[in-house]
Structure 1
Amino acid sequence: MGAMMARPRKDEAIDIRGEAVRAAIIQLGEDPAGLSLSAIARRIGCSAPALYSHFDSKDDLLAQVRAAAFAEMMEAKRRRFVGLSAEPLARLAAGGHDYVDFARANPALYRLIFAPEAGKPAGKGGDKGHDQGHGQAPAHPEVNLDAAAIAPLAAGLGAAGPSAMGAEAAAEIAHMMWFTVHGAIMMALDGQLPGPEAARWARAHEAVDTVMRLLVSHFPTFRE
């Protein structure tokens, strides 16, 4: 009788890297402070050494999570915008409100994506040297917020604005709008806006509406 083929070990039977990223996204939604490489290894059912062979440190894992979460967020935004009013101002406003809603529903992920240094969960330790990293830092996937968030906003302004508005002016206004909305979101996340939670997020939505009103009042040709 021929030799029986050995069964693959569990570590070899799962996509450790992909499962770890997905598990970390879930963990950030449930208990950001509890995120560690050893906790993720337990969550996906692999050995800690097997996970350590895929991620140099917790920061390495978080960089992969940031890129994956950002890509998922932008794809979800793209799907939601299918069938939305083609009117440029309506789409600009909807995009701002969409960021506010995402931040409220996914505070830890929003921080990690848009304020990565401030958004790194402190963790509870327990991974010895692995969560602190070792050796040379690995290359991380790039998250180009300017290309993915600011450029489409500037393009929307160009589509809605006066013909005299050039690309440079549209980019400057897009950055101003983004700084305002992102600032309001971070203040809501940090509890720096007055009132209970619902009131803080209502104020963040008001920031979007205020920016749109200022835009229309400053550029009359934006008006419908």
Structure 2
Amino acid sequence: MSLDNYHHGDLKNALIQAGIEILAEEGVGGLSLRKAARRAGVSHAAPYAHFADKQTLIAAIASDGHARIHERIEKVLADHPEDPLRQLVGAAWAYVQFGLEAPAHYKITFSGAIQDEHGHPEFMEISQRNMQVLKAIVERCRAAGIMDSGGMDAELQAVSLWGLIHGLVSLWIQGQLPSHLMQRITPEAMLIAALQQVVKTPIAKDVLA
């Protein structure tokens, strides 16, 4: 496929998808712009229109992952502007959904494979934005009496909450949970059970319906 076959913006997305597939199969050591170009069906020089090197491509892949999660969270906030509990559950579910639907992309997004994060401002901006949104949701839940502070400031509590969610997603997509549990309990139910440990208000079983 020649470069002319791509509409504006399609080449960058095609290379990102190619990079995801290569990273999932071969790891960071197996990725190169040349391989991504070959898989995307373009010339070896084509990727340089968007990416200076392999690290730039990895940063773009991770940024795209954070952007996809952010888009889901923003929809939750728009759908439930006055309901902090639903915002919390919905934001957590945004991470879980992305992990279950695109496990390879999720792993790369949170892999730490970017060597110099500060050298990639787009990645820094979108990854920090998601944490700030989660912090704001935690603050709303605390103000509404849904969560106790536990002696932590809101940012630390948001990081702790994200760690709980991320751990659950990672265990699920890596098949590290007990098989009988994965067969018996849906991801939605497992997430609600995990969140119920950190909130005082009962979470309805159909909250994600």
Give the one of 143, 154, 159 matched to 2:135: 154
Query: Are 2:60 and 1:64 aligned?
Result: yes
Query: What are structure 2's unaligned runs of at least 5 residues?
Result: 202-209
Comparing 155-164 with 27-36, which one deviates more in the overlay? 27-36
Shift of 1:99: 1.0
Counterpart-to-counterpart distance in 1, 2:74 and 2:144: 26
* TM norm structure 2: 0.68
Q: 1:195-210, aligned counterparts within 5 Å?
A: 195=179, 198-199=182-183, 202=186, 205-210=189-194
Shift of 1:208: 4.2
* CA distance in 1 between partners of 2:165 and 2:18 (Å): 26
> Equivalent residue for 1:23?
14
Q: Given the alignment, which residue of 36, 42, 63 partners 1:40?
A: 36
Q: Which residue identity is paired with 1:69?
A: G
Residues 112-168 of structure 1: CA deviation (Å, up to 9, x unaligned): 212233xx9xxxxxxxxxxxxxxxxx9433335763233222212222224797896
- Tell me the C-alpha RMSD between the 2 structures: 3.8
Q: Decide which moves more: 52-61 or 97-106.
A: 52-61
Structure 1 unaligned residues grouped into runs of 5+? 1-9, 121-137, 218-224
- Counterpart for residue 89 of structure 2: 93
| SS in structure 1 at match of 2:69 | helix
* Structure 1 residue 201 displacement after superposition: 7.8
Query: Is residue 161 of structure 2 the alignment partner of residue 170 of structure 1?
Result: no
In the alignment, what sits opposite 2:207? none
Deviates more, 1:182-191 or 1:57-66: 57-66
The one-letter code sitting in structure 1 at the alignment partner of 2:156 is: E
Q: Deviations over 1:39-93 (max 9, x none)?
A: 4324544310333465343332121222233223312431354223631011101
* TM alignment of 1:123-134, pairs within 5 A: none
2:99 is aligned to 103
2:166 to 182, 191, 213: 182
TM norm structure 1? 0.64
Q: Distance in 1 between matches of 2:88 and 2:77?
A: 11
Question: Relative contact order: is structure 1 or structure 2 higher (C-alpha 8 Å, sep ≥ 6)?
Answer: 1
Contact 1:21 / 1:64 at 8 angstroms: preserved in 2? no
Report SS of the residue matched to 2:186: helix
Higher helix share: 2
- 1:194–1:200 CA contact under 8 A, matched in 2: no
Q: Tell me how far 1:185 sits from its aligned partner.
A: 1.0
Of residues 205-214 and 69-78 in structure 1, the stretch that sits farther from structure 2 once superposed is 205-214
Q: Percent sequence identity over matched residues?
A: 23
